[in-house]
Amino acid sequence: MATIGDFDPLNSTVPATKIEVTVSCRNLLDMDTFSKSDPVVVLYVQGLGTKEWREFGRTEVIENTLNPDFVRKFVLDYFFEEKQNLRFDVYNVDMRSCNLSKHDFLGQIFCTLGEIIGSPGGRLERTLSLGAAESRNSRVTLPQSGILDSGIPGKKCGSIVFTAEELSNCRDIATMQFCANKLDKKDFFGKSDPFLVFYRSNEDGTFTICHKTEVIKNNLNPVWQSFTIPVRALCNGDYDRTVKVDVYDWDRDGSHDFIGEFTTSYRELSRGQSQFNVYEVRNLNFKIYKNNSVNSGTVTLLSFKVESEHTFVDYIRGGTQLNFTVAIDFTASNGNPSQPTSLHYMSPYQMNAYAMALKAVGEIIQDYDSDKLFPAYGFGAKLPPDGKISHGFPLNSNTENPNCVGIEGVLEAYFHTLRTVQLYGPTNFAPVINQVARCAAEVTDGSQYFVLLMITDGVISDMAQTKEAVVNAASLPMSLIIVGVGPAEFDAMEELDGDEVRVSSRGRFAERDIVQFVPFRDYIDRSGNQVLSMARLAKDVLAEIPDQLMSYMKSRGIEARPPQPATSDPTSDPTSTGTAKQNNTRP
């Protein structure tokens, strides 16, 4: 008997979207004696949670220019919730060789895909660095004069410009409805309780679940509700890729009975209701069907339509800023910070759980905040000099301006606060949530969206007030991330994370699901690879932010603004998109 487990969208590998990155360079080093350089750009990507770089692709080579505008694009899968590290190396091609060490190294930059997308208008310009040139290429000599951005002595070697654009087919949304006829009866005392499960085929022959319909009870001729799914989730841009649909009979114990399956494709579905979209449901486990029938029923496509909608990337390119705020638990249940048993203990060898969670999440979100100024608060401590308990004090001790400069600034303020306050209690969430909500309430035009990260070790003391605060915040441009550290039970957090049942207060339900909770202990890597485990934590807590932002924008009818126009480039060389070298000269 075939069975199916619960659908876990966080484990799906479908990218949020595909981003096309265009590359130009300005004022490159001139390495040729009798002509200008012949540049090429090589892109390297870094695996999630690893330090290894692998080559992703190369632009074409453009001859005799220091200001190339490359035609060949880099198309990258984009995941908001991951820190996607990129490295761009620029070379001057001198000979017919694919070996990059045979060519002149002109410079490199490191950035993330999020930085490119989060820059105004999706345009990012960076100064190239020759930082590791001597070890990479003995043919490059660093002169005595000049200072690079990295502080390494060397010649100024120009800049590289990126523009990011979302591929158009990534914004398509398909809405469809199915019914079935004469499905097999699987229940002894009644008819079947059927539902459909849709899978996208992968290049290696495996299948990834991408949608599950609701269950229709006690019905062999069900009509399921229409549903909407991103086209990229169904076929990842390949309209002819196989889509497999399984038909199951729901059982309360989770051991659902397999009725049968059929296959189709996005292209076939897009034809709409026709004779091509009546599918025989077959169970290949049985060679002979009961009553000599040739199938286990049929499934019919009743309707199909495709629409384009604004995406998360549209809002970011249109100028929407993510305002990131941090709140850290300073209650006594964390233990004495000077003792190794404390959750706040500052080991000389490793960051504590609070710092690791803050760094993992903050380093991703900061790419979407142009000023890199982050308000940071503590709660549950007695403050000097009078020992007054506070549930929303600025970590930098500046009540007029609680902003810290960058994630490193937040960490410094956190470490300083540990040495100056007395851990106390209780664990009240509502004051900080309301504080951020007041800021969010002042923004109604879609220009800003607020993300509050709360890191805590214990049971919430003001649960009723917290639920009221979450319900109120759900109508504002705001999301709440909670990371629970330590061994405590976090049942209350699960209640706030309304994936199954929307949180409510005094009979009023939250307008949107804005809370994402994870326990830090689920991400402790026993093998010691904390880089990978923190990447997983950030991925899980941030995965819902794009949909939460878009749900708010849609509910308020806020359209994405047009991308901010890139500034004109007076150094552009009209011949810089000239004839590329032939294949046999391209590295």
- pLDDT of 96 reads 73
**Residues near 5 by beta carbon (within 8 Å), at least 6 away in sequence:** 254
**232 in Cβ contact with 169 (< 8 Å):** yes
On the question of a cis peptide bond just before residue 384, with omega within 30 degrees of 0, the verdict is no
**Residues near 214 by beta carbon (within 8 Å), at least 6 away in sequence:** 195, 224, 225
Beta bridge partners of 303: 177
Burial class, 424, CB count within 10 angstroms (exposed 0-12 / middle 13-18 / buried 19+): middle
Phi, psi of 107 (to 5 degrees): 140, 170
pLDDT, tens digit, 9 for 90 and up, residues 359-407: 999 999 999 988 999 999 999 999 999 999 999 999 999 999 999 999 9
- pLDDT of 187 reads 64
pLDDT, tens digit, 9 for 90 and up, residues 334-353: 999 999 999 999 999 889 99
Every domain of the chain and the residues it spans: 17-132+153-167, 172-308, 320-338+352-370+377-391+426-556
Answer yes or no: same fold for 17-132+153-167 and 320-338+352-370+377-391+426-556: no
Alpha carbon separation from 171 to 232, 319, 518, 545, 577 (Å, rounded):
8, 18, 29, 17, 30
CATH 3.40.190.10 fits 172-308, yes or no: no
pTM of the model: 0.68
Neighbours of 368 (CB within 10 A): 22
On the question of a cis peptide bond just before residue 348, with omega within 30 degrees of 0, the verdict is no
- pLDDT of 579 reads 37
**279 in Cβ contact with 245 (< 8 Å):** yes
Neighbours of 323 (CB within 10 A): 22
**Angle between helical axes of 406-418 and 353-365 (0-180°, round to 10):** 160
Beta bridge partners of 76: 19
- Which tokens belong to 75? 């198309």
pLDDT, tens digit, 9 for 90 and up, residues 253-274: 778 889 999 999 999 999 876 6
Burial class, 372, CB count within 10 angstroms (exposed 0-12 / middle 13-18 / buried 19+): middle
Nearest to 269 by CA among 327, 215, 196: 196
Q: Where do we find the tokens 């006829």?
A: 181
What is the three-state SS of 285-349?
A: CCCCCHHHCCCCCEEEEEEEEEEECCCHHHHHHCCCEEEEEEEEECEHHHCCCCCCCCCCCCCCC
CATH 1.10.760.10 fits 17-132+153-167, yes or no: no
Alpha carbon separation from 376 to 362, 397, 535, 538 (Å, rounded):
11, 10, 22, 18
Alpha carbon separation from 417 to 121, 208, 337, 347, 411 (Å, rounded):
38, 46, 11, 16, 10
Nearest to 499 by CA among 554, 543, 436, 449: 543
Q: Where do we find the tokens 């019914």?
A: 179
Alpha helices (H) along 69-227: 113-118, 133-136
CATH 2.40.30 fits 320-338+352-370+377-391+426-556, yes or no: no
Measured over the CA atoms of residue 470, residue 475, residue 476 and residue 478, the dihedral's sign is: positive
**70 in Cβ contact with 102 (< 8 Å):** no
Alpha carbon separation from 527 to 53, 181, 485 (Å, rounded):
22, 52, 19
Task: Pick out the chain residues at pLDDT < 70.
Answer: 1-16, 49, 131-156, 168-170, 187-188, 273-275, 286-294, 498-500, 526-529, 564-587
- pLDDT of 169 reads 65
- pLDDT of 330 reads 97
- Which tokens belong to 138? 């003995």
- pLDDT of 587 reads 31
Nearest to 68 by CA among 100, 45, 93: 93
- pLDDT of 49 reads 67
pLDDT, tens digit, 9 for 90 and up, residues 98-144: 788 888 999 999 999 999 999 988 899 999 998 654 334 434 333 33
In total, the chain counts a number of residues equal to 587
**431 in Cβ contact with 460 (< 8 Å):** no
Rounded Cα–Cα distance for residues 41 and 159 (Å):
12
